[in-house]
Amino acid sequence: MTIFYKLKWCFRDWILSGALFLFPYIDFLFSTVFHWQATIMGPSDSPYQGGVFFLTIHFPTDYPFKPPKVAFTTRIYHPNINSNGSICLDILRSQWSPALTISKVLLSICSLLCDPNPDDPLVPEIAQIYKTDNSRYTKMAKDWTHKYAM
């Protein structure tokens, strides 16, 4: 199955699942379906509550055998997400499986927002604050959410 048809099926499955937090767009500069944009809402049980976060998804030509590159375009204060929007999440690296869907990837990212992993940070300074002064971390995350995602 070519990548085009795989992405077409991925998009069809997304529509059938009712996952309203993802919408693809075509990058007209490159006229390709390999670039998508996703939107996730800040989980209600997190300091990101009420925020609207945008992400880009870039599919490699050998998808689904290689993971997509997913990055936040909305700034976010999180130990596992750096200032470039890169995300430290095992399923986007060593634990990738062709059986994973984009919906599952986005759900895992939402879960990461609720439950950061300070032991595998992209931003050690934020991880340290999360571990030692959680109320300060929560305040900073809420402040950034209000500033950049609302």
pLDDT tens for 48-107 read 999 999 999 999 989 999 999 999 999 999 999 999 999 999 999 999 999 998 889 999
Q: Around Cβ 128, how many Cβ atoms within 10 Å?
A: 14
Which residues, 6+ apart, have CB-to-CB distance to 46 below 8 Å?
Answer: 113, 114, 141
Return mean pLDDT, the chain: 85
Active site residues: 88
Domain range for 74 is: 3-148
> Residue 71, exposed/middle/buried by CB under 10 A (0-12, 13-18, 19+)?
middle
Q: What is the pLDDT of residue 60?
A: 92
107 contact partners, CB below 8 Å, separation of at least 6? none
CATH number, domain of 101, equals 3.10.110.10
Instruction: Please report, in angstroms and rounded to a whole number, the separation of the first and last CA atoms in the chain.
Output: 40
> What is the number of domains present in the chain?
1
- pLDDT for 25 equals 41
Residue with the bigger pLDDT between 59 and 126: it is 126
